[in-house]
C-alpha cells in the first residue's frame, strides 16, 4: 500500500502495529503498519522517532515533497548501488558517440509518443485542426535521426514540444480551462499547474526505479551533467510524460473530474487545493494500478513494473548486453 499524507500540521506516530495520523491531539486516521509499502509526505507533516525507526528498520521508503508535489528528498536506510554498473555508466559518460546515440533514441521515443498520441486524438477534432503540428513533429523525428551533436538533438526536442503543446490546447474540451502554452516554473494557469504536479509524481516514480536497479541518477545523456542535477532521471522521464501524465491530465479535465475550483492562486502562482490533490492522487493511483503491455516482451505489467523494466533495459545497454536502447511506447492490450 502506498500512503499519501497531505493534512498540513499532521503527526505520524506508531502504536500497536499501526501508523496513527493525528492533528491537534485528535486521531484522523490509522493504517495497519504491515500493509504500508511506501509513504509520501506532502508539506508540513511531522513523524515521531519510533515511526522513523520502524520505517528505517523495515526499509519503508518515505518520500518528502512540498505541499504542491515537488520532490525534496527521502528517508532511507541505504540504497542498492550496483558498483560495476555505475563504473560502466561513468565510463559511458565520456563516450560522446554513445551519448549522442542515446540522446537521439530518447528524443525520438518521446516525439514518437507525441506523434502517435496526436494522431489518435485527431479523429475527434475538426479536419486539419492539428495536422500542421503532427506534420511538424513527424519532420523533426526524421531530422533528429541525422543530428550531428547533442545540442542539435535538444533543439529539435524543444521545437517538437512547442508544436505538441500548441496541438494539446485543442484537445482541452472543458471550457472552464484555458491553456496557451507550456510554462513549467511557475505555472500561471490551471493546466500548467496540473501538468507540473503530475510530472513531479512521475519524477518520483522513475527515481525509485533507477535506485532499484542501482544506476546513478546523476549521469545521463540528453540532459547536461551538472552538480546536483539528476541528468539520467530527467532523460528517463521524457518517454513517459505523454503516455502517463498528459493523457491522464486530459481525461481528468475533459471528464470534469478535476474542476476549476480545485485550484487556488497564491502570489500569481496557481496551485491545487487540498480537495484537488486528493482527487488527483486517488485517480493517479488507480492509473498506476492498471496494466500496460511492455513493448519489449509483450507482457502485461503494472505501470510501476514497466518503469523498473525500462530501467533494467537501460542498464543492459550500458553494460553492453543489449545493443540498442528502445524507448517505451504504448502497445494496446488485446
Q: Which domains are seen in the chain, by residue range?
A: 2-75 (3.100.10.20), 83-319 (1.20.120.920)
- Residue 269's pLDDT is 83
d(CA 198, CA 187): 12
**What share of the chain in percent tops pLDDT 70?**
97
Helices 96-122 and 231-238: crossing angle in degrees, nearest 10, is 30
- Per-residue pLDDT band for 76 (boundaries 50, 70, 90) equals confident
The x, y and z cell numbers of residue 61, run together, are: 521508503
> What is the mean pLDDT of the segment spanning 130-158?
96
Burial (CB count within 10 angstroms: exposed 0-12, middle 13-18, buried 19+), residue 332? exposed
DSSP string, 213-248: HT--TT--SSSPP-TT--HHHHHHHHTTIIIIIIHH
Q: Residue 231: is its pLDDT beyond 70?
A: yes
The answer on whether 239 is annotated among ligand-binding residues is no
Instruction: Report the range of poorest mean pLDDT among 45-49, 187-191, 222-226.
Output: 222-226
User: Who wins on pLDDT, 185 or 253?
Assistant: 253
d(CA 53, CA 13): 11
Q: Residue 262: is its pLDDT beyond 50?
A: yes
The answer on whether 7 is annotated among ligand-binding residues is no
- Residue 333's pLDDT is 53
Helices 231-238 and 303-319: crossing angle in degrees, nearest 10, is 120
Statement: the pTM of the whole predicted model exceeds 0.85: yes
Residues 6+ apart with CB under 8 A from 25: none
d(CA 150, CA 192): 27
Q: Give the model confidence (pLDDT) of 93-132 as tens digits.
A: 999 999 999 999 999 999 999 999 999 999 988 899 999 9
- Residue 78's pLDDT is 65
Three-class secondary structure of residue 29 per DSSP: strand
Amino acid at each position: 500500500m502506498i500512503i499519501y499524507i497531505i493534512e498540513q500540521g499532521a503527526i505520524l506516530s506508531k502504536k500497536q502495529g499501526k501508523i496513527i495520523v493525528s492533528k491537534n491531539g485528535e486521531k484522523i486516521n490509522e493504517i495497519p503498519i504491515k500493509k504500508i509499502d511506501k509513504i509520501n509526505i506532502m508539506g508540513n507533516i511531522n513523524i515521531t522517532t519510533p515511526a522513523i525507526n520502524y520505517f528505517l528498520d523495515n526499509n519503508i521508503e518515505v518520500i518528502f515533497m512540498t505541499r504542491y508535489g515537488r520532490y525534496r528528498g527521502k528517508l532511507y536506510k541505504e540504497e542498492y548501488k550496483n558498483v560495476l554498473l555505475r563504473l560502466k555508466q561513468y565510463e559511458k559518460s565520456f563516450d560522446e558517440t554513445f551519448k549522442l546515440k542515446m540522446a537521439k533514441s530518447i528524443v525520438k521515443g518521446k516525439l514518437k509518443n507525441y506523434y502517435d498520441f496526436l494522431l489518435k486524438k485527431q479523429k475527434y477534432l475538426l479536419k486539419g485542426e492539428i495536422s500542421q503540428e503532427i506534420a511538424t513533429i513527424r519532420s523533426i523525428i526524421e531530422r533528429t535521426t541525422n543530428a550531428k551533436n547533442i545540442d542539435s538533438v535538444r533543439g529539435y526536442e524543444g521545437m517538437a514540444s512547442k508544436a505538441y503543446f500548441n496541438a494539446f490546447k485543442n484537445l482541452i474540451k472543458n471550457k472552464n480551462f484555458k491553456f496557451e502554452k507550456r510554462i513549467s516554473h511557475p505555472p500561471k494557469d490551471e493546466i500548467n499547474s496540473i501538468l507540473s504536479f503530475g510530472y513531479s509524481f512521475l519524477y518520483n516514480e522513475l527515481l525509485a526505479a533507477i535506485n532499484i536497479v542501482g544506476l546513478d541518477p546523476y549521469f545521463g545523456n540528453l540532459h547536461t551533467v551538472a552538480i546536483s542535477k539528476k541528468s539520467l532521471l530527467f532523460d528517463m522521464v521524457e518517454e513517459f510524460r505523454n503516455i502517463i501524465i498528459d493523457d491522464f491530465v486530459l481525461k481528468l479535465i475533459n471528464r470534469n473530474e478535476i474542476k476549476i475550483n480545485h485550484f487556488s492562486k497564491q502570489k500569481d502562482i496557481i496551485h491545487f487545493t487540498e480537495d484537488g490533490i486528493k482527487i488527483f492522487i486517488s485517480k493517479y493511483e488507480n492509473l498506476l494500478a492498471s496494466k500496460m503491455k511492455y513493448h519489449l516482451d509483450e507482457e502485461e505489467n503494472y505501470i510501476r513494473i514497466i518503469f523498473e523494466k525500462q530501467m533494467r533495459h537501460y542498464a543492459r545497454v550500458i553494460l553492453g548486453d543489449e545493443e540498442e536502447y528502445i524507448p517505451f511506447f504504448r502497445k494496446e492490450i488485446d
